[in-house]
Amino acid sequence: MVNKPIYFDHAATTPLCKEALDKMIPYFTGTFGNANSQHVFGREAVKAVDEARDTIAKIINAKPNEVYFTSGGTEADNWALRGVAHAYKSKGKHLIISPIEHAAMIVTAKALEKEGFEVSFMKVDADGVIDLEHLKSIIREDTIFIGCMLANNEVGTIEPIKEIAEIAHSHGIICFTDAVQAAGVLKTDVKELGVDLMSISGHKIYGPKGIGALYIRNGVKVESILTGGHQERMKRGGTTNVPAIVGFAEAFKIADREREENFKYVSSLRDRFIDRVLSEVPFVKLNGPRQGRLPANADFSFRYIEGESILFSLDLAGIAVSSGSACSSGSLEPSHVLLALGLPEGLAHGSIRFSFGKHNTMEEVDYAVDVIKSSVERLRAMSPLFKAEGEIKNV
Ligand code: PLP
């Protein structure tokens, strides 16, 4: 057991950075005004929100009036898909998404099916990369929306969004990307990517939880899902979360400034981890591509062992990781992402996601590999399946 637990779950959430916290604090107390109020307190709040919007717009290369604050990535994803579906339903009722989207997209798509929309899923290869030829083949006259994440939260695969957007636009279809895992790590320039809508979230980039944004290109119609007051230019009701918005923008500014440096450092942790696990632990599968994955992500399936058993064993040793995606962990369902990659159910149950951050060290990585080796050996020694297969091999 280590003195202080080691956190390898940055894809689930990240700690708030000190700079963001410092920026936020005044907006809880002294400068607490409602951004809708017509007095000095309100004006101060609006000024802070406007500055934050400008900062985020600049980072993603959008206009400030194309950035809409939401309660996080989930709301932004919901809004993009549901909002476009409802706004363009007279043009068509066919939606296309990838099969490895976050639950915020998959569950929303299923709900829209109940309303009479039809949903088709793109195909991915064994590494989770979108098959562009297949995408072209499933586009129809009535397709109104194509949505795919920029990078996957579970296996870290980076998707060819620019190409997907080109395909969508060549058919006059709106293109959305979920950049929740990619923001602050990869370039999220909406013009370069060519997308019409993009979701981002504060807590994956050392910002606060419960805040995110949806980029909506001017000219694209998106029906509101949160109706109420006049906030967010009449598109999203609800009292503006000023402290969170201020903290989100500050965290994003820092993440963007440190992007290349952190990419290099975090990739070096990941690469050593992957290399050691692959060479020192038998019967293990790296999920997602070796290249072309998020710098923080290493996702493994350990044959003959349930992911949960490894997770608990690592937790006891002071190492915090996740089984499957943070949102689906806790459920006994196999990962929909790993099933889409073609993994058999057994392996799709046994995956563990390690996601590194800028405060992790090489010593922590090495300690984790040592613990994994001994945990896996111990758990396999108790696995009847492992024993049976081992005996077959020995015949
Ligand atoms: N999209 C992706 C790819 C995610 O990884 C997550 C969170 O895990 C979300 C959306 C949801 O974001 P939030 O937690 O801000 O609601």
Dump pLDDT digits (tens) for 144-176: 999 999 999 999 999 999 999 999 999 999 999
> What distance in angstroms lies between residue 276's CA and the mean position of ligand 1's atoms?
29
Q: At what angle do helices 259-280 and 242-257 cross, to 10 degrees?
A: 70
- Kindly indicate the confidence band of residue 327, based on its pLDDT and cuts at 50, 70 and 90: very low
Pocket flag, ligand 1, residue 307 (CB < 6 Å): no
Is residue 232 within 8 A of residue 214, CB to CB? The reply is no
Q: What is the CA radius of gyration of the chain?
A: 22
pLDDT at residue 1 greater than cutoff 90? no
Amino acid, single-letter form, for residue 320: A
- 6, two tokens: 């080691």
pLDDT at residue 390 greater than cutoff 80? no
Mean pLDDT over 17-42 rounds to 96
> What distance in angstroms lies between residue 177's CA and the mean position of ligand 1's atoms?
12
Pocket flag, ligand 1, residue 105 (CB < 6 Å): no
d(CA 177, CA 196): 8
- 36, two tokens: 């809708």
Mean pLDDT value across the chain: 94
- 211, two tokens: 């805040």
Dump pLDDT digits (tens) for 64-96: 999 999 999 999 999 999 999 999 999 999 999
Q: Which of 9, 97, 181 to mutate to test the pocket of ligand 1 (most atoms within 8 A of CB)?
A: 181
Dump pLDDT digits (tens) for 266-311: 999 999 999 999 999 999 999 999 999 999 999 999 998 888 899 9
Pocket flag, ligand 1, residue 74 (CB < 6 Å): yes
- 52, two tokens: 């934050």
d(CA 394, CA 391): 5
Q: What single DSSP character describes residue 113? A: H
pTM of full prediction above 0.85: yes
- Kindly indicate the confidence band of residue 379, based on its pLDDT and cuts at 50, 70 and 90: very high
Pocket flag, ligand 1, residue 180 (CB < 6 Å): yes
327 annotated active-site: yes
